[in-house]
Chains A and B, each alone.
Chain A
């Protein structure tokens, strides 16, 4: 009986030790997993911070982390200011299709479609780790895209306010000119002329300041109110803008196009300013090609060399993205809008055969506008 009891105690002790070892191992495992979750979340947040909420940098940088957390397939389709970008990461493991999560945002300038799927066989805390990371990643991505859309919306509002300010000044100036012209016609005595002159002396400083303000804005804004559709020589427009920017230009070919000339010129100026500020530009080459449906203008220089990645192409037309210290990064973004408005033309960049690239403006051949009905 005694021997039996001591044997039991021995077994019991051994069992207790085993349970203790299992509990310790479990605690160690849970702690390690918790550390892994914490580390991955921290890395993800560090990426957000590091890339300043820029989805184009954040997406490729975050893909290895997602793979580590158990993602077998990540697909992001991004329409970024007219350029299409795809980011895909596929692991060799089989995908658990039933647990795929997707998110879509459709803005005017940015469209996002993201899909993330785990690998098959993820269970327990591994599945939870994946869920946490996948949801956090989707939330961060949505917040970044929405933030960028809000920024654009806000900027557009600011531009509109800007436009309102100069229109207000312009209308006042036009009103002033109307009244001045009336006064000049009616003033036929020396006294009246003297009074008019005295009044003009008084108001000229204010008038000069306002006129200066309008001119300053006109250099930046579109001219939608007074821009008429007319037939113009594309070669001539290029030469005029090059002359205004003091850029040597060589034009090959020519074509007549029906455009809102002032708006088109603003677009052209925004593009050509890039050559002006690009170090190494000796002269600009403008190649004009005509097909029955469209007129193509390619603008290039010796300085535009190398191969452009999809990402670089997307960045080029993104507002507020610039490599210049002095620029705001709005030039090409506004230029693209101006070309569309001027003649439904499309501004893009194109890789040329000789390791150079060019800005390309494709203008559909529109007929002359119908005469306005009286």
Chain B
């Protein structure tokens, strides 16, 4: 039995309950959110391993913009989780945008129960091994979407920013811990915060 925490984001209450029950029977601990705002709020407050995200949520149930809002928030505030998109939107339009915005997997409604559980399991497997990689080899996997044909400087900057954001999120914006994890001095961390316009969140532990 798994003890992973899953956040379910879907505006359809009935479906959400049924999804929650299916996942709970497999041993997952499930929290629920019914719109983008509630999803972001839940991600801010708690730690999850997997986010199961519906792209069409109020007030734009017929569009993907609410799902994209969550994915874009995750890009700015990286979390140690995998996002699986489970949506009824047209895959031709939404899959590309979702993958571009950092989704790990994409499932089109209606999906068979087995396919859903396999996708969740697969996401968990990737997450475990990335965590292991970090623990055993002190390496951080960073996924980037880079523009081609502009040389390596933008790639370096984006990788630097992404890495910094990830470590900051993990350390709860603790500058001392972040500097230690990145093997930098604190002044350099402050310099990079300024360079990339990263601001200390109000709720975070500010001790450094």
Contacts and interface: CB of A to CB of B under 8 A. Distances in A.
A180 B110 CA distance: 12
Q: Is the interface of A mostly helix, strand, loop or mixed?
A: helix
B44 to A, nearest CB: 27
Interface string A169-183: 101101111111111
Nearest to A195: B21
B198 interface: no
A165 B12 CA distance: 13
B18 A210 contact: no
B14 A171 contact: no
A179 B109 contact: no
A194 interface: no
A161 B56 CA distance: 13
Given A171-B110, A199-B18, A186 B25 contact: yes
Contacts of A196: 21
A341 interface: no
A202 B17 contact: yes
B170 to A, nearest CB: 34
B14 A203 contact: yes
B148 interface: no
A210 B19 contact: no
A165 B62 contact: yes
B121 to A, nearest CB: 15
A35 B174 CA distance: 83
B112 interface: yes
Residue among B10, B22, B62 facing the most chain A CB atoms (10 A cut-off): B62
A178 B21 contact: no
A92 interface: no
A164 interface: yes
Contacts of B169: none
B113 interface: yes
Interface residues of B, number: 23
Interface string B17-29: 1110110010000
B15 interface: yes
Nearest to B108: A171
Contact of B17 (A164, A174, A186, A203): A203
A176 B61 contact: no
B88 A178 contact: no
Contacts of B56: 168
Contacts of B114: 182
Contact of B14 (A164, A178, A206): A206
Interface in A176-229: 176-183, 186, 192, 195-196, 199, 202-204, 206-207, 210
B15 A176 contact: yes
Nearest to B116: A179
B13 interface: yes
A195 B15 CA distance: 16
Contacts of B10: 172
A167 interface: yes
B111 interface: yes
Interface in B131-177: none
A276 B17 CA distance: 44
A178 B56 CA distance: 20
A164 B62 contact: yes
B199 to A, nearest CB: 36
Given A171-B110, A183-B21, A204-B14, 15 more contacts: A165-B62, A168-B88, A172-B10, A172-B14, A175-B88, A176-B12, A178-B110, A179-B116, A180-B18, A182-B113, A183-B22, A186-B25, A199-B17, A203-B17, A206-B12
Interface of A: 161, 164-165, 167-169, 171-172, 174-183, 186, 192, 195-196, 199, 202-204, 206-207, 210
The 3 closest A-B pairs by CB, nearest first: A171-B88, A182-B113, A203-B14
